[in-house]
Structures are given as structure tokens and as C-alpha cells.
Amino acid sequence: GNSVTQMEGPVTLSEEAFLTINCTYTATGYPSLFWYVQYPGEGLQLLLKATKADDKGSNKGFEATYRKETTSFHLEKGSVQVSDSAVYFCALSDRSGGYQKVTFGIGTKLQVIP
């Protein structure tokens, strides 16, 4: 079956540091890949997505590139802010049993300190 593996965290960075959160996946088909963000006390929000190999998703300064050869979708940001403190979930959507099914990673908590 499909699976998503991401670093467990927590990740603690100083403001303006470079961020990488690793995500690798296993899928039987050709999945779409997503990053979701959950700010404290809120629900999940879609952060960015990529629907095919070599696509780059980007939003709010975050980027992730769909790498089929390494089955990865690592999240990066060049300069994090305190307001980026949240839990980040990597996810894939793949066709299974006739419909799209979503698999989430366990989430990585990011804490940015001033």
C-alpha cells in the first residue's frame, strides 16, 4: 500500500534560518503530492501541491519539487519567520479501488524562535 514518511521533529530554528523538512513516499501509481500546514488551534490548510514529476509547488515562500527518481517531496523555505511555527503534513493522493485516496505523513512540528 501507499505510505508517506516524514521527519518526526520537532524542528527548532532561529528566525531567518533555512528550512528543510524531508518527505519520501511509496505509491503503486502516479500520485499527486501535497504539503498541508496546521497552525496552533486551527484545522489543516493546503500549503502547496505538485501533480506530476518535476513539478514545483510553491506558496508563501515555501517550495517543494516532485522528484520521482528519489520518490521525495521535501519542503524548503529560505528564511523562516516566527509566524511559520506550525505542524507540516506531507500527503499523497493516488487512485486506489476506483477513487482517489489520500495518505498523510505523521506531521512535523516546526518551532521558530526569535
Partner 1 sequence: GAGVSQSPSNKVTEKGKDVELRCDPISGHTALYWYRQSLGQGLEFLIYFQGNSAPDKSGLPSDRFSAERTGGSVSTLTIQRTQQEDSAVYLCASSSRPEAYGYTFGSGTRLTVV
First-to-last alpha carbon distance for the chain, in angstroms, is: 41
95-100 LR contacts (CB < 8 Å, sep 24+): 95/29, 96/2, 96/28, 96/29
Residue 102 contacts partner 1 per CB under 8 A: yes
Written as nine digits, the cell of 2 is: 501507499
Of 21-60, binders to partner 1 (CB under 8 A) are 31-32, 34, 36, 42-46, 49, 51
Q: Residue 49 CB, nearest distance to partner 1 (Å)?
A: 5
Stretch that binds partner 1, among 15-23, 65-73, 78-86, 89-97 (CB under 8 A): 89-97
Q: Which amino acid is located at 72 in the chain? A: S
* Residue with grid cell 500527503, as numbered in its chain: 91
Of 74, 107, 110, 112, the one binding partner 1 (CB under 8 A) is 107
Residues engaged in binding partner 1 (CB under 8 A): 31-32, 34, 36, 42-46, 49, 51, 89, 91, 93-95, 97-102, 104-107
